[in-house]
Amino acid sequence: MERGIALLSGGIDSPVAIHLMQNRLEIIAVHFHQQPLTDEKEITKVKDLVRQLGLSKLYLIPFTVVLKELVSKCNHKDYYILSKIAMFKTAELVAAKEGAKFLITGENLGQVSSQTLSNMTTITKNLTLEIFRPVLSYDKEEIVKVAKKIDTYEISKGPEICCLLGPKYPSTKSNPEEIRGQLERIDIMPLLKESLNKAEIISV
Q: How does the average pLDDT of the chain come out, rounded?
A: 91
Q: What is the pTM of this model?
A: 0.93
Q: How far apart are CA 150 and CA 53, in angstroms?
A: 8
**6 closest CA partner among 100, 121, 82, 76:** 100
Instruction: Using pLDDT thresholds of 50, 70 and 90, give the confidence band for residue 37.
Output: confident
**In the structure, what pLDDT confidence band is assigned to residue 198 with cuts at 50, 70 and 90?**
very high
Quick check: 172 pLDDT over 90? no
How far is the C-alpha of 115 from the C-alpha of 175, rounded, in Å?
14
Category of 139 on φ-ψ map: left (φ > 0), alpha (ψ -120 to 50) or beta: beta
173 class by beta-carbon count within 10 Å (0-12 exposed, 13-18 middle, 19+ buried) = exposed
Please report, for the chain, the start and end positions of each structural domain, with discontinuous segments joined by +: 3-203
Under DSSP, is residue 3 helix (H, G, I), strand (E, B) or coil?
strand
Contact partners, residue 183, CB within 8 Å, separation at least 6: 74, 82, 85, 86, 126
pLDDT of residue 90: 98
What share of the chain in percent tops pLDDT 90?
Answer: 75
3 state DSSP class of 26: strand
CATH code for 3-203?
Answer: 3.40.50.620
Rounded CA separation 107/101 (Å): 19
Q: Categorize the per-residue pLDDT at 187 as very low, low, confident or very high, splitting at 50, 70 and 90.
A: confident
How many C-beta atoms surround the C-beta of residue 33 within 10 A? 20
Nearest of 79, 86, 124, 109 to residue 13 by alpha carbon: 109
**pLDDT of 39 over the 80 cut:** no
User: In sequence order, what are the residues at sequence separation of 6 or more whose Cβ sits closer than 8 angstroms to the Cβ of residue 78?
Assistant: 170, 171, 174, 179, 182
Taking only the tens place, the pLDDT of each residue in 53-75 is 999 999 999 999 999 999 999 99
pLDDT digits (tens, 9 = 90+) for 94-121: 999 999 999 999 998 866 666 788 999 9
Interatomic CA distance for residues 201 and 204, integer angstroms: 10
User: Is the pLDDT assigned to residue 159 strictly greater than 70?
Assistant: no
Percent share of the chain, pLDDT over 70: 94
Q: How far is Cα 123 from Cα 117, in angstroms, rounded to an integer? A: 10
Q: In the prediction, which pLDDT does 158 show?
A: 67
pLDDT tops 70 at residue 164? no
Query: What is residue 114's predicted lDDT score, i.e. its pLDDT?
Result: 65
